[in-house]
Amino acid sequence: MQRRQLLLYGAAGAGVLGLTLFVGWWRVDGPGAPEPKGQRPLPLSAMEFRLTDHEENEVGPGNLIGRPTMVFFGFTYCPDVCPTTLSDISGWLEELGDEASEMNVVFITVDPERDTVEAMAEYVGYFHPVIRGWTGPEDQIARAAEGFRASYERVPTEGGDYTMNHTASVFLFDAKGELVTMIDYHEPREFAVPKIRRALTEDVEGAT
């Protein structure tokens, strides 16, 4: 009898612990979590930064207003997330066909020390031709990241080298420069492409 009671108490305790953990997840990381204050990207019209594209043109947020826009932060020495995401983006653009030319698609480096204009030009050349590479001074990269509410940090590695941690989502804006949504890292094409078409559709509806 005593052993049976212990087992029952143990099961009940495990159930309470599981419920507590679930409630904690729901409030902190799950659907019940509060929206992070100030984490929504600013409208493009409210951002202020000046960078240089891979063809040595001076660019900024104003260049992105007027057409739907996708923006992704990364760096050319990135071992997996960046080439994977840019390959995904290239696939989405291929599926859009002629509509792809109606979009701005920008890859902004978080590693301007190594990602020169020449390095960016070579790197984006491996992907869809619509994709543009933007680089510039560290302070301007920081201002761009702040506007998009993207984060990045330099992480030392062995041998005195370093890598970069950074936001891996793709930011999607409509032609007016307002955020439409974000596309998560490795989001399936059947979910990502409709989001992009939504931005294109909002562009058309806004013009009518």
Retrieve residue 52's tokens.
């240089």
Distance separating alpha carbons of residues 170 and 155, to the nearest angstrom: 22
Dihedral angle, C-alpha 27, 33, 38, 44, nearest 10 °: 160
Cα 183–Cα 55–Cα 149 angle in degrees, nearest 5: 30
Nearest to 130 by CA among 107, 108, 105: 105
**Does 128 appear as a known binding residue?**
no
What backbone phi and psi angles, to 5 degrees, belong to 63? -70, -15
Q: In this structure, what token pair is assigned to residue 75? A: 């760096």
Give 189's contacts (C-beta < 8 A, 6+ positions apart). Answer: 88, 91, 92, 95
CA dihedral defined by 86, 90, 93, 95, rounded to 10 degrees? -130
82 labeled binding residue: yes
* Residue 186 is assigned to a ligand binding site: no
Extract the annotated binding site for Cu cation. Answer: 78, 82, 166
Residue ranges for the known binding site are 78, 82, 166
